[in-house]
Amino acid sequence: MTTITKVALGKNGPLVSKLGLGCMRMSPVWGGVARDESESIATIHAALDSGINFLNTGDFYGSGHNELLVGKAIKGRRDDAFISVKFGAIFYGSQWLGLDLRPIAIKNFINYSLVRLGIDTIDLYQPCRLDNSVPIEDVVGTIADLIKEGKVRHLGVSEITADQLRKAHSVHPVTALEIGYSLADRQIESDLLPTAKELGIGVVAFANTAEGLLTGDMKAPLPADAYQNHFSRFQGENLIKNLEKVEVLKQMAKDKGYTPTQLAIAWVNAQGDHILPLVSMNRKSRLEENMQAMGVTFTADEMNTLNTHFSPGAILGGTYLHR
């Protein structure tokens, strides 16, 4: 089985696996169904056995279900896991209600997370996004206090702008930025990625296959109940033209002996040592394929083909990443 190497998360950060495991899909999120718990735990165990120590969860994934699941999986193996937790999103059932980033709420959230996870300290703690409802200084300052108390080791941020990143980093050093990034979503290359690199902040990149667009398995039109239908990228002519774009990735994958998904992950991985692909999995059988993607290399011509064909703006329509 492939073994994953470790890299520093940011300029002076902790050593973590170059590939992260996103645990969100192991829980019932946004109206979905719960996955088989034993299979989910087996997936986490297999990831840890393979050297993947970066586990990403959120206190609102399945209303705490995901943290409880991760807690069961790491019991007795705490030292093998680096736990990243997002907070701040408020749901009622599967309905999004907004954010709560007040200091008093953050102090409440983390106590519940620690209990559900069965640990004393969270390795990376981060607001799921910032909406200016609470000053950044107050949000980051509260996490800084939790770091001083020993409840958190490192500050993370997620889905924010370059200006917000600079402001957060000025209050307390940011270890990692979690953000959507793929061949189909390259808007962060203009300012956010350069800012993170300048400040020595690691980048945890999720949505590597752009909500399934880059897997090579998607066909138009999508099933009526597909959640992607909410986004203009997956509607009507946009989807037809976008899938035509994906044919280039599919052909390159075939020529190289890999899947389009593997090439999509590999492209993100190739963007820098400070960038960590975060791949969501809920089945152990997916693990080896995704790990193999970390060993894929591109020739200069192949990289030029991908970067030109999927230049920023080449994919039509937006998703939730284009707020």
List residues with catalytic annotation. 61
Whole-angstrom distance, CA of residue 176 vs CA of residue 227: 28
Instruction: Name the DSSP class of 34.
Output: P
Alpha-carbon distance of 228 to 247, in angstroms, equals 19
Q: What are the angstrom distances between the C-alpha of 132 and each of 5, 136, 161?
A: 37, 7, 12
Residue 152 has, within 13 A of its CA and on its CB side, a CA count of: 29
What is the Cα–Cα distance from 261 to 208, expressed in whole angstroms?
Answer: 8
Q: How many CB atoms lie within 10 A of CB 286?
A: 14
Q: How far is CA 125 from CA 11, 55, 103, 219, 252, in A?
A: 18, 12, 14, 37, 38
Phi, psi at 182, each rounded to 5°: -165, 175
Tokens of 160: 């924010």
C-alpha to C-alpha distance for 209 and 265, rounded to whole angstroms = 7
Looking only at the bridges linking them, the beta strands covering 122-127 and 152-158 are parallel
- In sequence order, what DSSP letters do the residues of 152-218 get, joined into one string? EEEEEEES--HHHHHHHHHHS---EEEEE-BTTB-GGGTTHHHHHHHHT-EEEEE-TTTTTGGGS--
State the Rg of the chain over Cα.
19
Element containing residue 83 per DSSP (H, E): strand 82-87
